[in-house]
């Protein structure tokens, strides 16, 4: 499936630029100046991102899902936390592992 995101401001780790984005399957395959290619003709979906930022999915490497703390638990379950992350543009979460002094990191992970 080919998708075109057109007219947005693409944000990378080093810059912002006006660009159209071509996605094939789940991979970004090209960036080009707005309107410089006729990608829409061969695409399955076209998204008009005019006036919007186009950013890659975020990764949150320190989340607290169902974490017991102080006699209570974190407010998010894995389901609600994952849904909230996805709605906010975060595509990957890594849960916090509780480590106890004298135990291995793997013990905390398990």
Pairing of strands 58-63, 53-54: unpaired
Q: Say what the pLDDT of residue 100 is.
A: 81
Note the pTM of the prediction, 2 decimals: 0.67
Q: Which domains does the chain have, with CATH numbers?
A: 2-54 (2.30.40.10), 58-109 (no CATH)
Distance CA 52, CA 1 (A): 23
DSSP 41: G
Q: Say what the pLDDT of residue 43 is.
A: 93
Q: In tens digits, what is the pLDDT along the chain, a chain of 110 residues?
A: 999 999 999 998 899 999 999 999 999 999 999 988 889 888 999 999 999 999 988 999 999 888 877 788 888 999 999 999 999 999 999 988 777 888 887 887 77
Q: Say what the pLDDT of residue 105 is.
A: 79
């Amino acid at each position: 499936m080919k998708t075109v995101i057109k007219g947005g401001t693409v944000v990378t780790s080093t810059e912002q630029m006006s660009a159209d984005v071509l996605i094939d399957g789940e991979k970004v395959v090209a960036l080009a100046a707005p309107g410089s290619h006729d990608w829409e003709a061969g695409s399955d979906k076209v998204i008009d991102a005019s006036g919007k930022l186009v950013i890659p999915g975020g990764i949150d490497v320190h989340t607290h899902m169902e974490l017991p703390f102080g006699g209570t638990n974190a407010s998010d379950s894995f389901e609600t936390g994952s849904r909230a992350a996805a709605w906010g543009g975060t595509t990957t979460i890594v849960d916090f592992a509780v480590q106890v002094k004298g135990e291995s990191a793997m013990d905390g992970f398990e």
